């Protein structure tokens, strides 16, 4: 299996592929392929792969630990032969008990962890993530405005005035009040922190977002507001989501399709109606029963 | 990091502030020339004319203490800066990247730590040549690297997997940018106390080195050198040893209080 070759999906013109993949950040393609992930971009004309944003093909992976001078040590496989796609514009739920490998899978998709086997193919710009814990996802040393501006500074294509304009526009869009633009994270509420995280994730206009339990740490009323915001932003900014959650009620409300994960394997997948109303697997039935 | 005032910090800042002001003034003005001898005024006890008395050559000890403190503070600060900058860089790289580079650099660090610090400084001085204050600074600076490296390595390693660091990696920020801009401000709560402790140790190390005669040499005077002079006349002019020793104690005490105060007021949620 060739991990480092650049794979081109059907009907894709290479030049176009690069112009899209490279539109966001020239380093994105490099660093993703460094992580053993192939980066390609979807073709603009209609084709079989046209409506995909992500393809995960028979991926296995996990964590290495110990070892002397990087040699030896043990390897614990967490993800076993996971295979699925994310389609353009959908919210794909990923459910399962905690410790089942959901976040590990997210790390692999983001390129923070290298898969041992299989391929992860991106058809859009580098994805961004919204983390569960709004307390550790924002840098405590910096203000809200700095945090949201940082991805643009790193990107380096806009001058200071243009960056500021985009930051303000995005913060206003996600309903962060202007009084807290200069506040540090420890002065914000959990909901505000999560809105700032969303703004920072979206500021470079990615097309694909991984939301790792984005509302689990929030009060129920705030949860509903954040979920509505995510849903509205999907249409406005033409986003697709991989929505990781252990809360089946939230998944039922929000998602179009759902993957059920158990001990690092996808045991069932389908539309939310199929899976929730007619679960095929015993494990899915147990999960649903527990969520009643 | 939120800094809340507390008694330790306040007392430390006052003591250190007064001492630093005195040494700063001492650099430009002293009541007497600290090197001018006067046969008529040998071993004078403290008086209004000579606040701390005079020594065996009739030199004004107060003026000498002012000048000597300046030398000591300059050497201690330079030492800490060298140790902190290199040590923090080493700690950042090893803590952030881990793996092979971590093993190599930390084993080198262990090797440095394995020598008693004074012995290590002696070795470096004997290689570089004694008698120069810059060689002394360099030698002590090298001695201080491992401590800073260890403290900052732990801090960087514990921040490495924070979500905001992963976010920075995802946005394509360079490793240097992540370490310097995203992580470094969050380790100030461990770096500042380490700096004050480092300053203390540097004052004491300079004093020990000069006391042993391998630090500052005449006509340059430092507190450590003066203390070794004072030892010879501890009976004839006890005020010399007392005033010099007191100055060392106050310098160390003041910086120690600042360190303690910073640690107590430091942000307890981070690190």
Task: Answer yes or no: do A140 and B270 touch at CB < 8 A.
Answer: yes
Cα dihedral A234/A240/A245/A249 (nearest 10): 50
Structure tokens at A78: 């967490």
Residues of chain A with Cβ-Cβ distance to B268 below 8 Å are none
Using 50, 70 and 90 to split pLDDT, how confident is the model at A68? Answer: low
Half-sphere exposure of B120 (CA within 13 A, CB side): 19
| Sequence-distant (≥ 6) Cβ neighbours of residue B99 within 8 angstroms | A70
Question: pLDDT value at position B266?
Answer: 63
- What band does A4 get if pLDDT is binned at 50, 70 and 90? very low
| The pair of three-digit structure tokens given for residue B200, joined into one six-digit string | 């203390």
pLDDT tens across A107-138, in order?
A: 999 988 889 889 999 998 889 999 988 788 89
Flag whether residue B219 sits within 8 Å of chain A, measured between CB atoms: no
Query: Cα dihedral sign for B168, B169, B174, B176?
Result: positive
pLDDT band at A282; cut points 50, 70, 90 = confident
- Average pLDDT score over residue span B191-198: 89
For A4, A55, B32, the CA distances from A39, given in Å and listed in that order, are 10, 11, 75
pLDDT-derived band of residue A260, with 50, 70 and 90 as boundaries?
very high
Place of tokens 């430092």: B222
Number of domain units in chain B: 1
Chain B residues in contact with A110 by the CB 8 A cut-off are 166, 170
Token duo for residue B134: 């810059």
Domain, as residue range, for B16 = 2-270
The minimal CB distance from A110 to the residues B164, B170, B182 is found for B170
Residue of chain B minimizing CA distance to A153: B173
| Diameter of chain A measured on Cα atoms | 56
Task: Record the tokens describing residue A96, joined without a space.
Answer: 């399962």
Residue of A nearest to B187 (CA): A141
Chain B residues closer than 8 Å to A37 by CB: none
Of A45-54, A164-173, A255-264, least confident by mean pLDDT is: A45-54
Tell me what percent of the residues of chain B surpass a pLDDT of 70.
92
Per-residue exposure over B31-65, b if at least 16 CB sit within 10 Å of its own CB, e if not: ebebeeeeeebbebebeeebebbbbeebbbbbbbb
How far apart, in whole angstroms, are the C-alpha atoms of residue B147 and residue A124?
A: 46
The CATH number of the domain holding residue B38 is 1.10.3720.10
Question: Which helix H or strand E contains A60, and what residues bound it?
Answer: strand A52-65
How does residue A66 score in pLDDT terms, banded at 50, 70 and 90?
Answer: low
């Amino acid at each position: 299996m060739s991990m480092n070759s650049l794979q081109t999906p059907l009907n894709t013109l290479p030049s176009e592929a690069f112009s899209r993949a490279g539109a966001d950040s020239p380093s994105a393609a490099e660093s993703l392929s460094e992580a053993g992930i192939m980066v390609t971009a979807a073709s603009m004309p209609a084709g079989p792969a046209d409506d995909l944003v992500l393809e995960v093909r028979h991926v296995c992976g996990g964590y290495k630990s110990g070892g002397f001078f990087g040699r030896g040590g043990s390897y614990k496989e967490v993800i076993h032969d996971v295979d699925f796609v994310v389609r353009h514009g959908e919210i794909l739920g990923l459910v399962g008990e905690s410790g089942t490998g959901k976040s590990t899978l997210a790390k692999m998709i983001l390129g923070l962890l290298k898969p041992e086997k299989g391929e992860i193919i991106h058809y859009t710009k580098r994805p961004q993530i919204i983390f569960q814990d709004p307390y550790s996802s924002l840098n405590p040393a910096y203000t809200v405005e700095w945090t949201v501006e940082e991805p643009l500074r790193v990107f380096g294509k806009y001058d200071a005035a243009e960056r500021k304009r985009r930051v303000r526009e995005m913060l206003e869009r996600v309903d962060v009040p202007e009084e807290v633009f200069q506040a540090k994270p420890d002065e914000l509420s959990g909901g505000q922190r999560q809105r700032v995280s969303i703004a920072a994730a979206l500021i470079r206009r990615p097309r694909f977002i991984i939301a790792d339990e984005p509302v689990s740490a929030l009060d129920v009323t705030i949860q509903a507001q954040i979920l509505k915001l995510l849903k509205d932003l999907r249409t406005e900014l033409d986003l697709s989501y991989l929505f990781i959650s252990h809360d089946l009620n939230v998944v039922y409300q929000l998602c179009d399709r759902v993957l059920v994960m158990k001990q690092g394997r996808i045991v069932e997948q389908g539309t939310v109606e199929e899976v929730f109303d007619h679960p095929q697997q015993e494990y899915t039935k147990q999960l649903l029963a527990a969520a009643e | 990091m939120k800094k809340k005032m507390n008694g330790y910090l306040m007392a430390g800042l006052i003591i250190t502030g007064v001492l630093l002001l005195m040494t700063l003034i001492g650099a430009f003005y002293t009541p007497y020339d600290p090197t001018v001898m006067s046969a008529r005024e040998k071993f004078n006890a403290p008086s209004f004319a000579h606040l701390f008395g005079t020594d065996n050559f009739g030199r004004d000890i107060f003026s000498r203490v002012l000048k000597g403190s300046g030398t000591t503070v300059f050497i201690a600060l330079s030492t800490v800066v060298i140790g902190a900058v290199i040590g923090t860089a080493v700690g950042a790289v090893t803590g952030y990247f881990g793996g092979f580079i971590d093993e190599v650099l930390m084993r080198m660090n262990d090797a440095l730590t394995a020598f008693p610090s004074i012995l290590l400084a002696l070795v470096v001085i004997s290689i570089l040549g004694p008698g120069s204050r810059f060689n002394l600074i360099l030698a002590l600076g090298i001695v201080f690297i491992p401590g800073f490296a260890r403290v900052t390595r732990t801090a960087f390693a514990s921040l490495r997997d924070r979500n905001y660091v992963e976010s920075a990696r995802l946005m394509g920020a360079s490793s240097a940018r992540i370490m310097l801009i995203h992580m470094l401000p969050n380790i100030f709560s461990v770096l500042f106390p380490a700096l004050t402790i480092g300053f203390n140790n540097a004052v004491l190390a300079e004093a020990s080195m000069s006391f042993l005669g391998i630090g500052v040499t005449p006509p340059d005077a430092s507190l450590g050198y003066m203390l070794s002079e004072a030892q010879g006349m501890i009976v004839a002019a006890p005020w010399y040893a007392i005033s010099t020793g007191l100055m060392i104690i106050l310098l160390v005490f003041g910086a120690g209080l600042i360190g303690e105060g910073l640690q107590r007021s430091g942000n307890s949620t981070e690190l």
